[in-house]
Structure 1
């Protein structure tokens, strides 16, 4: 049976800030969370990707760069070749290249965006701080390629391991609008954010999103998700729900639009 996975990713995972995998299964419009798994290194993440399993997974990191940026820099415009070039760069080289691009642009339009970024409310995939999604892409996507997984719309691979770009903020914002539900900083882990996490989970359990799926949790799972003030576990679960929606849409597109840009990719359910 194909398992579902939601992944909250860190480009520099540690014991304190691990990569979180939310495992589950879907049936009859319900998504059952089965377990949370934490990976404390990129090596552990790479090993998990390579393991012979059957899953559809939603990953919380960008799968591509804006076409506008790639063409401006003169990088390859084929997805695999572009990402291989990107992987050959160091993080300082990426930061300096992207900073120079932004410095030459007018105020209010510093970053290049992928076609769907504004629709999804996602950060430009070239941002190297707050959040450093450019480094997340740099750390993660080469591991997807090395593992030979299938990346619909971008790269054909093992159809038993299907990798999709997910974004927890897309689903969270539908429920909470602009309310914040998480922070890595202790001082910002407020009662208001705690209440927001409870409200978010209640809406997911009741199926009050446009995806029409109901999240099924045990009491212990519910409490653990509420108590994780970083929101990492909850973000993994949000990605799990998006992966379940993609599974409903089915192969080979998994709900991705026919006209997606094969360089930029697409966030599932955006």
Structure 2
């Protein structure tokens, strides 16, 4: 089974964690269904269940090495994540804000090696989007479930977790057009058109990943109608996971020069 995850660090009924589940065969990625989780505990329970999957998860798996070394935190990934999980969100915000305040304008945040390549937000960013809190909430769940995280943590090889980023694939297909918003006032006809164009591009397999998305009419309509873009983001991660599965174990398309503290976004570069 393949999966793509759109994650929320504070899931609710209105804004749940979404898992797009599917399979790939002959270059076609079939979406089976989308599951919803309204709590971190429910999501963690699902991760621990004994099933086989390869998944792309839309949250950072690591912090920038420059930040970790500056703060004097452990530079081994598992120990660093344990230290990080022991902090509160206010402590994270205060620590990262102090780091940024001491740096010159234009280079406030520390970046992972691939951030510029992937167009991803710094994993230490605590607002817009709060990916630092996403890492804080999610990675301990992966470790508790003992999933395999290639390049970072050797776990159960039947459950493989990879860092994905839907924006990377979306930009390849529709450039920088905005296709989603959580704000009702910004859920415009232009964004609806962009979602439809993105879905069409996925179905036609226009990306360098060499995969075509297969949807039912009802699934296509549901993805277009979700103005938050959360379900479409989960599907984008599903396609990235399918690409990784085609590359195969043990690296799933990740580069040999991957930093074992920072990790890597699947299909970047």
Length-normalised TM-score, structure 2: 0.99
Corresponding position of 1:8: 6
Q: Which runs of 5+ in 2 are unaligned?
A: none
| 1:177-197 CA distance string (max 9 Å, x none) | 110000000000000000000
Whole-angstrom distance in 1 between the partners of 2:174 and 2:190: 12
Corresponding position of 2:187: 189
User: SS of the residue aligned with 1:35?
Assistant: strand
Whole-angstrom distance in 1 between the partners of 2:81 and 2:7: 18
RMSD after superposition: 0.3
| 1:91-149 CA distance string (max 9 Å, x none) | 00000000000000000000000000010000000000000000000000011001000
Q: Does 1:87 align with 2:73?
A: no
Q: Which runs of 5+ in 1 are unaligned?
A: none
Q: How many residue pairs get matched?
A: 268
Q: CA deviation at 1:198?
A: 0.3
User: SS of the residue aligned with 1:52?
Assistant: coil
Corresponding position of 2:246: 248
Corresponding position of 1:179: 177
Could you list the structure 1 runs, at least 4 aligned residues long, displaced by more than 3 angstroms after superposition.
none
Residue correspondence of structure 1 range 193-208 to structure 2 within 5 A: 193-208=191-206
User: SS of the residue aligned with 2:92?
Assistant: helix
Q: 2:207 aligns with which of 206, 209, 227?
A: 209
| 1:168-225 CA distance string (max 9 Å, x none) | 0000011111100000000000000000000000000000001010000000000000
Q: Does 1:99 align with 2:94?
A: no
Corresponding position of 1:164: 162
Whole-angstrom distance in 1 between the partners of 2:57 and 2:184: 26
Residue correspondence of structure 1 range 106-125 to structure 2 within 5 A: 106-125=104-123
Whole-angstrom distance in 2 between the partners of 1:156 and 1:50: 15
Q: CA deviation at 1:27?
A: 0.3
Q: 2:61 aligns with which of 46, 60, 63?
A: 63
Corresponding position of 1:262: 260
Whole-angstrom distance in 1 between the partners of 2:108 and 2:91: 18
Residue correspondence of structure 1 range 134-173 to structure 2 within 5 A: 134-173=132-171
Whole-angstrom distance in 2 between the partners of 1:189 and 1:206: 25
User: SS of the residue aligned with 2:90?
Assistant: helix
User: SS of the residue aligned with 1:163?
Assistant: strand
Length-normalised TM-score, structure 1: 0.99
